[in-house]
Amino acid sequence: MSYPLLNRELGILAFNERVLAQAADPETPLLERLRFICIVSSNLDEFFEIRVAGLKEQMRDNPGVLTQDGMTHLQVYTQVSQQAQSLVSRQYAMLSDTLLPLLEKEGIFFHGADGWNDAQRQWAKEVFLQELMPVLTPIGLDPAHPFPRVLNKSLNFAVELEGKDAFGRDAELAIVQAPRSLPRLVAMPAALSGHPYGYVLLSSLMQCFVGELFPNLTTKGCHQFRVTRNSELFVDEDEITNLRTALQGELPARHLGDAVRIEVDANTPGRLIRRLQIECGLSDADCYRVKGPVNLVRLMQLPDMVDRPDLKFLPHVPALPKRLANTSVIFDAIDQGDILLHHPYDSFQPVLELLLQAARDPAVVAIKQTIYRTGNESALMDALMEAARNGKEVTVVVELLARFDEETNINWAAQLEAVGAHVVYGVVGHKCHAKMLLIVRRTQTGKQVRLKRYVHLGTGNYHPRTARFYSDFGLMTANEAMCRDVHLVFQQLTGIGGQITLSHLWQSPFTLHTALLEAIRFEARAAEAGKKARIIAKMNALLEPSVIAELYKASKAGVKIDLIVRGVCALQPGVPGLSENISVRSIVGRFLEHHRIYYFHAGGTEQVYLSSADWMDRNFFRRIEVAFPVLDKKLKARVIREGLMVHLRDNQSSWIMQSDGRYQRRRHGKRLYNSQKALLAELCGE
């Protein structure tokens, strides 16, 4: 039996609608509202680079195939285009009509060229001549210089010209690409600006002084545009013999993939827009005419440039678990019992400190870790390299195909190998997304010396920067059975062998999917027998059809199901006779809700699993993932309270999904309750 499913692409756009609502909310600090505007642009960039690019390929290669929601790819694309155009239009209107006037009242002002006085114009010209002009390369278009294939997401200017150049050629059009090294936002001296924080956009400088690049020609117009390209990498995993070498050869092509979107200034003449569309092979539906900068992502730097703490979220100091605060040796603290870290409320420093102590402890003989995303600069990676230099047996499973982090991970892999660490790239055809750290240490009890394992498992990446903004759980444990499971998974990743049997972990692509289905069915059978049954699950996305089908069946059996899905959800809640016992909500707030938590009543035993796996096809079947149980009763209660119940209670940053896929903000009750603010107060004392 087939069940109704909602569209993935439209669900992603709906999520960005919720993010944009944060920018519209007057209760959000002003500079944070600007940051949310920029986050929408960043999200849309990836949406077009991957999802829309894939949709266009499906329209070309499989025009008659229906998507899981029953629409053709063309129908999906049409709706996506309409909703994306509407979203972008409201985003820019909010910026220009609401945020910029509010920022000006606070002394933060963007100086447009049409408002410069003589002194400001002279300053701007000097900036252009000294800082911009030396690195700009104008490309005049003629038979010998065809339209350039501009780089993905680069800022470009189409310059309309008139006159003859030094060679007697008619000058009509030139393209100038702004190098990524150039700042998109230039601070004007306060004395000259008349505002405490005055800024000039790079586009304003270009539009005013671009004629300096074309001496003795008349500049008729300068119009900014930006092209988004297909950024999916095409690596044939069946043919390659060296994944790193293959990726290094493929990465440069990412910037030159097929165009999928063009953004232009709304004041660009229609004839020029048509020319740009033809050169890029795009239609009107792919063209986004915006009233403002074509790349709002680069405005993300503004809140950090402005020293106005009153216009930002109050900084918070992550807490440190008491047991870790009272001991200098983390291994001793873990020996006393499992330790739960709830980021960003709890500090990520203990994870780094655990690795640093392992690197320097003579008793530690081996360290094994998975790396998916960790950033260009990482003290954690430095610790791994220090461990290798100190003679530890260091093995790192680096996922080279972590989207948009491929180059960073290639660089780290090379550095790790240079100091003697074993670097493994996982399993061809399966991204290694599990977050695992295993440390093997000699311990002595009396005269007996033995090797003991210590493990850290997490729901988020080993990335100290994102750990300040993403909500995730991490578990430190020396539980022998759990550590043995992690050891076996590493053995499987680095070696060759048959399928393994694990005591506690559910693992993709082997047991996670089937174990999850069985846990859902167990609750359904309990409900049918008149017993208490409950499922609560939190994740980033819910798309896998067979899991959705089992949730529908469990709902019909009478199981109360609460789903907290931050992003896209294909399940339809509240449908009579199908899913009236299922609620779906999305929490969008200061922090990115990132942890995945699976709760089952399980006949009163209350099983709680943590994981980095969303309920998606790729996580179940095309990735190496683990879900690990929280065995300690006190820690389990913490996960239930801090990770689930607070969000079910939230009536300020919670959005409730309707049966047709639309979301309504939940704001009612005598007292507003914000789950993230409540956790900051409880865990950080703020």
State the pLDDT at residue 485: 98
Domain that holds residue 174: 107-295
Pull the structure tokens for residue 38: 């920029």
Going by the DSSP 8-state scheme, the letter that residue 189 receives in this structure is P
Q: Is 525 annotated as a binding residue?
A: no
Residue 147 lies inside a defined structural domain of this protein:
yes
pLDDT above 80 for 497: no
Of the residues 448, 468, 499, the one at which a domain ends: 499
Residues near 18 by beta carbon (within 8 Å), at least 6 away in sequence: 586, 588, 655, 663
Average pLDDT over residues 317-342: 93
pLDDT above 90 for 2: no
State the pLDDT at residue 239: 43
User: Same domain, yes or no, for 467 and 613?
Assistant: no
User: Same domain, yes or no, for 163 and 197?
Assistant: yes
pLDDT more than 90, % of the chain: 78
Average pLDDT over residues 173-183: 91
Q: Is 594 annotated as a binding residue?
A: yes
User: Same domain, yes or no, for 277 and 330?
Assistant: no
User: Same domain, yes or no, for 495 and 511?
Assistant: no
Of the residues 64, 96, 128, the one at which a domain ends: 96
> pLDDT digit string (tens) for 421-453?
999 887 777 889 999 999 999 998 888 889 999
Domain count, the chain: 4
pLDDT above 70 for 337: yes
> pLDDT digit string (tens) for 398-414?
887 656 667 787 888 88
Residue type, 242: N
Average pLDDT, the chain: 92
User: Same domain, yes or no, for 464 and 358?
Assistant: yes
Q: Positive or negative, the Cα torsion across 44, 572, 79, 97?
A: negative
Pull the structure tokens for residue 51: 């999802």
Q: Is 590 annotated as a binding residue?
A: no
User: Same domain, yes or no, for 447 and 347?
Assistant: yes
Name the least confident of 478-487, 498-507, 596-605.
498-507
User: Same domain, yes or no, for 444 and 548?
Assistant: no
Q: Domain holding 543: CATH number? A: 3.30.870.10
Q: Domain holding 190: CATH number? A: 3.30.1840.10
pLDDT band at 378 (very low <50, low <70, confident <90, very high): confident
State the pLDDT at residue 249: 47
Using CB atoms within 10 A of its CB, is residue 108 exposed (0-12), middle (13-18) or buried (19+)? buried
State the pLDDT at residue 410: 81
The DSSP string of 558-623 is T-EEEEEESS-B---TT-TTTTTTEEEEEE-SSSEE--EEEEE-GGGT-EEEEES--BSHHHHHSE
Residue 219 lies inside a defined structural domain of this protein:
yes
The DSSP string of 620-679 is HHSEEEEEEE--SHHHHHHIIIIIIIHHHH-SSSEEEEPTTS-EEE---SSS---HHHHH
State the pLDDT at residue 144: 66
Tokens 């220090």 sit at which residue? 386
Overall residue count recorded for the chain in this entry:
686
State the pLDDT at residue 401: 67
pLDDT above 90 for 246: no
Q: Is 43 annotated as a binding residue?
A: yes
Q: Domain holding 13: CATH number? A: 1.20.58.310
Q: Which residues pair with 229 in a beta bridge?
A: 259
Q: Positive or negative, the Cα torsion across 20, 22, 26, 28?
A: negative
d(CA 8, CA 50): 13
State the pLDDT at residue 377: 84
> pLDDT digit string (tens) for 273-309?
999 999 999 999 999 999 999 989 999 999 999 999 9
State the pLDDT at residue 426: 73
Q: What is the largest CA-CA distance in the chain?
A: 93
> pLDDT digit string (tens) for 6-43?
999 999 999 999 999 999 999 999 999 999 999 999 99
Average pLDDT over residues 566-585: 96
pLDDT band at 214 (very low <50, low <70, confident <90, very high): very high
What's the Cα-to-Cα distance from 561 to each of 504, 532, 579, rounded to whole Å? 24, 12, 9
User: Same domain, yes or no, for 152 and 191?
Assistant: yes
Residue 154 lies inside a defined structural domain of this protein:
yes
Q: Where are the beta strands (DSSP E) in 213-338?
A: 218-229, 259-265, 287-290
Of the residues 46, 65, 96, the one at which a domain ends: 96
pLDDT above 50 for 258: yes
Average pLDDT over residues 157-178: 88
Average pLDDT over residues 366-390: 92
d(CA 209, CA 200): 13
Residue 671 lies inside a defined structural domain of this protein:
yes
User: Same domain, yes or no, for 291 and 395?
Assistant: no
Radius of gyration of the chain (CA): 27
State the pLDDT at residue 403: 66
User: Same domain, yes or no, for 534 and 516?
Assistant: yes
Q: Which residues pair with 505 in a beta bridge?
A: none
Annotation marks residue 433 as catalytic: yes
Q: Is 35 annotated as a binding residue?
A: no
pLDDT above 60 for 170: yes
Residue 658 lies inside a defined structural domain of this protein:
yes
Q: Between helices 512-528 and 545-557, what is the axis angle to 10°?
A: 10
Residue 306 lies inside a defined structural domain of this protein:
no
State the pLDDT at residue 272: 95
State the pLDDT at residue 1: 59
Residue 447 lies inside a defined structural domain of this protein:
yes
The DSSP string of 56-72 is HHHHHH-TTPBPTTS-B
Name the least confident of 64-68, 513-517, 547-551, 618-622.
64-68
- Which of 433, 456, 595, 601 does the annotation list as catalytic? 433
Q: Is 673 annotated as a binding residue?
A: no
pLDDT above 90 for 654: yes
User: Same domain, yes or no, for 44 and 146?
Assistant: no
User: Same domain, yes or no, for 157 and 134?
Assistant: yes
pLDDT above 50 for 661: yes
Residue 307 lies inside a defined structural domain of this protein:
no
The alpha helices in 241-348, defined as continuous H runs, are 243-250, 270-280, 302-305, 322-325, 330-335
pLDDT above 70 for 233: no
